[in-house]
Amino acid sequence: MTTFDAGSLRSAAALIAEGRLVAMPTETVYGLAADATNDTAVARIFEAKGRPQFNPLIVHVADAAMARRFVEWPPLAEKLASRFWPGPLTLVLKRRADCAVSLLASAGLDTLGVRAPAHPVAQALIREAGRPLAAPSANPSGAISPTTAAHVRESLGDKVDMILDGGPCPVGLESTIVKIDGDGAVLLRPGGVARAQIESVAGRKLGAPSQASAPQAPGMLASHYAPQTPLRLNARAPCDGEAYLGFGDAGSAGPLALNLSASASLQEAAANLFAYLRTLDKLCARRGLRAIAVAPIPSAGLGEAINDRLNRAAAPRGHSIRH
């Protein structure tokens, strides 16, 4: 169900213009949006999320023309944007000298992450507000990203000025983040566009980020996207006292189990992942279960991003800040 209409869009754009926070649906996950050119507004995002200041924010633009106002635009950026925008790909590029986006959004780096989202509500809000929108996923730092308006209400409800409800997010995983540096391209975070697709358009392999330059993306922090309940990965079946998150044939019957995709579709699994983790997390708390066992997920295509999120959700806590 969507409560989105022209009136709420106008109110949301007015709030953005006043420097307030609006949660907006994108095709990946819900974002916590604010005017990217307003320092106070961007600072409010960090405060609402409880996010360490060194983690930069993605700036959402309507299209490549809008992105070019803020970042340098080498041929590889044009190539990738013309194939994957609007869509779940974030490009990290050098800020232009005259870049009007708050330096806070770059967290002290000389680069900016930009993305043109494909969701009609996000597109409409950017255009109605007439400015770029800084928006991290609309969850408290380190927690599971929201894929419905209800998820946002549950975890950040009192900290946002308005939530635009666009229904469940069709992709369900955050964008793929690629840093472009001259001719080179580095995969900072696997996400909604599979690596192989990007490599085929880029005509080159994506490099791996260097440890020295961490944290380039907090999605890269060891513990992230974490439910309260511990996860046990690559489990063919649940043990006693465990809930089960299945995939394909590795399923389990009963009230303590969900299947990410009975037909073994990675796309369907990605769309269900965060919502199912939340549901099982709550179930475990209610029933006093000790863990969520998770079926093995193939690593091809979107499986790379799904496994990335599961590994971080399973990582020991207390390692959530690398330095």
Binding region for Mg ion (CB under 5 A): 137
Q: Which is nearer to Mg ion, 102 or 137 (CB)?
A: 137
Among 175, 229, 259, 261, binds ligand TXA (CB under 6 A): 175
Among 25, 37, 56, 275, binds ligand TXA (CB under 6 A): 56
Q: Which is nearer to ligand TXA, 86 or 136 (CB)?
A: 136
Based on the shown chain and the rule CB under 6 A, indicate whether residue 102 belongs to the binding site for ligand TXA. no
Output the CA angle 189-22-90, nearest 5 degrees: 20
Among 28, 37, 123, 147, binds ligand TXA (CB under 6 A): 28
Closest-by-Cβ residue to Mg ion is 137
Give backbone dihedrals phi and psi of 72, rounded to 5 degrees, phi first.
-70, 150
Q: What CA–CA distance (Å, rounded) separates 317 from 323?
A: 14
From the list Mg ion, ligand TXA, none, which binds 92 (C-beta under 5 to 8 Å, kind-based)?
Answer: ligand TXA
Work out how close the CB of 146 gets to ligand TXA at its nearest, in angstroms, rounded to a whole number.
9
Q: Which is nearer to Mg ion, 137 or 175 (CB)?
A: 137
Structure tokens of 117? 């989202």
Among 8, 38, 102, 106, binds ligand TXA (CB under 6 A): 106
Q: How many chain residues are in contact with ligand TXA, going by CB under 6 A? A: 29
SS3 content of the chain, % helix, strand, coil (to 5): 35, 20, 50
Q: How far is the first Cα of the chain from the last one, in angstroms, to the nearest whole number? A: 42
Q: What CA–CA distance (Å, rounded) separates 19 from 123?
A: 19
Amino acid letter for position 266: L
Residue 211: which residues within 8 A CB-CB, separation 6 or more? none
Beta-strand pair 231-232/242-246: unpaired
Based on the shown chain and the rule CB under 6 A, indicate whether residue 136 belongs to the binding site for ligand TXA. yes
From the list Mg ion, ligand TXA, none, which binds 188 (C-beta under 5 to 8 Å, kind-based)?
Answer: ligand TXA
Based on the shown chain and the rule CB under 6 A, indicate whether residue 57 belongs to the binding site for ligand TXA. yes
Q: Which is nearer to ligand TXA, 20 or 238 (CB)?
A: 20
Q: Which is nearer to ligand TXA, 70 or 244 (CB)?
A: 70
Based on the shown chain and the rule CB under 6 A, indicate whether residue 137 belongs to the binding site for ligand TXA. yes
Q: Could you say which residues in the range 208-237 bind ligand TXA, by CB under 6 A?
A: 216-219
Contacts 24+ apart (CB under 8 A), 80-85: 80/178, 80/180, 80/198, 80/201, 80/202, 81/116, 83/201, 84/193, 84/197, 84/198, 84/201, 85/115, 85/116
Beta-strand pair 242-246/257-259: parallel
Encoded one letter per residue, x for contact with ligand TXA by CB under 6 A and - for no contact, window 112-131 reads xx-x-x--------------
Strand arrangement of the beta sheet that strand 31-35 belongs to: 162-163, 22-24, 31-35, 133-134, 58-60, 111-115, 89-94, 176-181, 184-189
Q: What CA–CA distance (Å, rounded) separates 255 from 230?
A: 19
Based on the shown chain and the rule CB under 6 A, indicate whether residue 186 belongs to the binding site for ligand TXA. no
Structure tokens of 52? 């360490």
Q: Which is nearer to ligand TXA, 17 or 109 (CB)?
A: 109
Q: Which residues bind ligand TXA (CB under 6 A)?
A: 26, 28-29, 31, 55-58, 88, 90, 92, 106, 109, 111-113, 115, 117, 135-137, 174-175, 177, 188, 216-219
